[in-house]
Amino acid sequence: ALDVFASPCGTALTRSPRESNYVCVSPSDNTNKGGSVVAATMVDGVEMVGLGIPFEEWTLGRRIRTVGRTVTEAEITNFVCITGMLEVLFTNIDYLEKESLIKGRLAPGALVLSFAEGLLMQSVMQHTGLAFLGMEMKVVKPTFAGDTIHVQCEVTEARPTSKPGRGIVTTQ
């Protein structure tokens, strides 16, 4: 289980081990007089929940895993149509069954990456990530309709920037 903290920084990773960087920011209202991060953000006297992990909690070697999410055939169809990825691997089931080496309703790697980003956003980056700085991605096996994905990553670097309350987190 992940601890929920109110301020600063999140990170991201794809389904397979990759490197991703985010610049993170600490809102000034999330610190006490001693300058340390407090455990909750209050809005109109009510604790706000669902916020990301603060930069200070992204320590070298920390490992996380998100909840799972099942990829559906409808999501594949919608993603392919919206993005214009009208490749027969994604649009022609007859081709997949009779001619393709890959059998089954295939999901584009970009869809899986988008879902991975969403899983991280709703679990560890909400209100904390400032900018995505880059990544390396290698698709190691196909994802099909009905597959359940999750994101698992480990912090390989966490360093503060020159601006107070900000840092860069690298994961794999």
What are the pLDDT digits (tens) for 108-122? Answer: 999 999 999 999 988
C-beta separation of 66 from 142 below 8 A:
no
Residue 33 has pLDDT above 80, yes or no: no
Residue 58 CA: distances (Å) to CA of 53, 80, 109, 153: 7, 35, 27, 11
Question: pLDDT at position 113, please?
Answer: 94
- Alpha-carbon distance of 94 to 4, in angstroms, equals 46
Q: DSSP letter for 147, please.
A: -
Question: pLDDT at position 84, please?
Answer: 97
- Alpha-carbon distance of 145 to 128, in angstroms, equals 31
Question: pLDDT at position 40, please?
Answer: 63
Higher pLDDT, 106 or 125: 106
Largest CA distance in the chain: 67
Per residue in 37-81, pLDDT tens? 344 677 888 877 778 888 888 899 999 999 999 999 999 999 999
pTM: 0.70
- Alpha-carbon distance of 104 to 83, in angstroms, equals 21
The helix (H) or strand (E) run that includes residue 115 is helix 109-120
Mean pLDDT, range 139-160, rounded to an integer: 93
Mean pLDDT, range 86-92, rounded to an integer: 94
- Alpha-carbon distance of 120 to 6, in angstroms, equals 16
